[in-house]
Structure 1
């Protein structure tokens, strides 16, 4: 495939070990890695060696502060989230991000988070995000004078306490943390239902999505860019990032063997359950059914899986086997050349701005670094070094201005 000189891939690495619920069974892996901060540090260093953006899954915030990684999820009130993420951005010198998760996880009930329908949860998410960003704008960049001669520490004319009083949140005091290196930590969002894309288009710097074909990727890409434009934003400031589970081999046969090994670790009932559909009344070897009327937790993921399974004529069993290892994201099984060709094809077709690489284990990331990254650099579609020091600089998304100065 010819090189692309006008556009480059964005690549992130997803630290998802605990999420791959059967990966722990691999005899070459340590089953307690998910509790070992050294595992995450090693993963982060590998990602940095490959010039990748590093991402941590929502299940791993116990290691986030130690790693100073790029995304975390904190379930709390807006003031607490704003303070914690602002502190993380300062500690990491501008490498923090916020994954705005709207789908309640297993811990939601313990936190008193209501389970709401799509419209209600996205209304809450938009209000929550607005409150947090207002708090991040509490101070202008130069509000803290710290002039020893005059004795002026803070210029009070440059302090802007939020004035939020609605049916969801009340916030009236300025944040206790000054403006951060990135202004706002990078906002990541993952909803690709119509409501989710409207939210992502309005607030996100980076939308994480699941698609299995270039055609479906183009639909998501175009929709998200349109929503960004409708929200008054430059669509180039919203990155569409597609999850992909990369399984590399020296030959296609070797890669396929690795794939089959990964699939075999999943008991079929667990694999089917991971799809989160209701297959009552169906045999596992029946053609994959139309799921459009089902009430599912993640609509975007459901649409992606169903489109893939039905367009490829897969049975329920086959879809479960193929989709379970990536928890709903596309497996990409191949050699250096075929993997690079695939990633470039999606980029050139404007089906994505980049990919969130999901290795099944840390060795998979090593293989991606050693074999695929050099080929992408050779083609001129991936960087050979980081562009800057902050996450925003390396993603190419602008630093938000303070709303009170616009």
Structure 2
């Protein structure tokens, strides 16, 4: 008799700041100051960790455009991610800490040192979501406006930036710091390697000033599902966040990304795909739908439409969702396509699409009871439409509490989710191996 096939289990990430445009702060039961309350974030992280989530995910962007619609957003004043996650790291032990930093708004040496420091502070739980979105530092870095609209140029920069960050993390071989009290030798300088790069984008001639992180390289996340994004993520990412509204679309994305990983010489299981889902739970479907309605009614329609990341021009909001639209060149084309497919399949107007989709950062809303939500998540996993979910909470920490108290126990009962963390680092919990130091590999090869 053959071996029984092991039940595949879900991976779960929790969006710790569920949407820059969220209007949940207006709800009478929610503290509007939570976006700048470190204790709130720590409580959120501890709640997700108690439920054994793989990681937290913090979406971020350094830009602040004072357009009129911004007056509605509580994210007009937010923490810098590494500072916040360092505070959370001190109050948690297992949960991953993945944050966003754009390659068009930072320098590789700065990002590498921040990531390596956070990985040490957290004992191996740091991750970086690599994005190409331009921010306020773009002009200071000499990046042309034309490049920010050129997909090929953006991903060329992203590859160079990521390769440099990884190489910098390898500056110290694993045994470079001997710390010999008798001889007074703290470091074996022959095992600390300067990086020499001059590729037309970056010029670097020094090692990173911190020893190799516990994970070797922090976990790399990416969210692009355009052809360029699939190729980049398949070859380079450990985690992929994606937006899909149907199992069929999820399966197509899943196959493309896994194939891209295999084409890059990787094992497909070493690329973990997480699909965004905005969950609203209720003890009955009626209560869940009422909670959804309470939230959508808080949204000014202009904020809801903008949060889709789609430019509808002068279209009437009560017109059917258009066949053609614009994303302005810098928004997520994959997410826009997923929203458009959902709207057309359900014959929604622009207004209805905005009301339904904006509560979850443009990701699929899932509104229901313990059984219906667990059934849905299980169906996606078993259909190989995803490896897990990036769980967005339109009701913020109250929504996370609902999810951890009702949905997670049901997933555990079905054998679909862990009861304990498998390892100490984020890589270990994701089932992704620690990369070998490039200089150790070179020595073995020679």
Asked if Structure 1 and Structure 2 have the same fold, meaning a TM-score greater than 0.5 normalized by the shorter chain, the answer is yes
Name 1:129's counterpart in structure 2: 162
- Structure 1 residue 21, shift from structure 2 partner: 2.7
User: In 2, Cα distance between the equivalents of 1:23 and 1:214?
Assistant: 28
Name 2:93's counterpart in structure 1: none
Question: Does 2:173 correspond to 1:173?
Answer: no
Name 1:345's counterpart in structure 2: 379
User: In 1, Cα distance between the equivalents of 2:127 and 2:263?
Assistant: 24
Compared CA separation, residues 93 and 198, structure 1 to 2 (3 A):
same
Report if the CA contact (8 A) 1:17-1:34 is conserved: no
Question: Does 2:90 correspond to 1:56?
Answer: no
1:241-285 per-residue CA deviation (whole Å, 9 max, x = no partner) reads: 111110000011111111111111112222122223232343222
User: In 2, Cα distance between the equivalents of 1:7 and 1:108?
Assistant: 42
Alignment of 1:79-98 (within 5 A): 79-98=109-128
SS state of the match for residue 240, structure 1?
A: strand
User: In 2, Cα distance between the equivalents of 1:198 and 1:285?
Assistant: 37
Compared CA separation, residues 96 and 309, structure 1 to 2 (3 A):
same
Name 2:424's counterpart in structure 1: 389
- Structure 1 residue 312, shift from structure 2 partner: 1.9
Compared CA separation, residues 129 and 263, structure 1 to 2 (3 A):
same
SS state of the match for residue 341, structure 2?
A: helix
Report if the CA contact (8 A) 2:129-2:221 is conserved: yes
SS state of the match for residue 385, structure 2?
A: coil
User: In 2, Cα distance between the equivalents of 1:294 and 1:356?
Assistant: 23
TM-score w.r.t. length of structure 1 = 0.94
Name 1:226's counterpart in structure 2: 259
Give the gaps of 5 or more residues in structure 1: none
Output the aligned Cα RMSD: 1.8
Alignment of 1:195-274 (within 5 A): 195-274=228-307
User: In 2, Cα distance between the equivalents of 1:364 and 1:278?
Assistant: 30
Report if the CA contact (8 A) 1:292-1:303 is conserved: no
User: In 2, Cα distance between the equivalents of 1:113 and 1:395?
Assistant: 35
Compared CA separation, residues 111 and 5, structure 1 to 2 (3 A):
same
SS state of the match for residue 253, structure 1?
A: helix
SS state of the match for residue 325, structure 1?
A: helix
Name 1:400's counterpart in structure 2: 435
Name 1:19's counterpart in structure 2: 20
SS state of the match for residue 162, structure 1?
A: coil
Report if the CA contact (8 A) 2:247-2:380 is conserved: yes
User: In 2, Cα distance between the equivalents of 1:21 and 1:294?
Assistant: 20
Name 1:72's counterpart in structure 2: 99
User: In 1, Cα distance between the equivalents of 2:337 and 2:194?
Assistant: 42
User: In 2, Cα distance between the equivalents of 1:217 and 1:192?
Assistant: 11
User: In 1, Cα distance between the equivalents of 2:8 and 2:195?
Assistant: 39
- Structure 1 residue 213, shift from structure 2 partner: 0.5
Query: Which residue of 410, 414, 436 corresponds with 1:375?
Result: 410
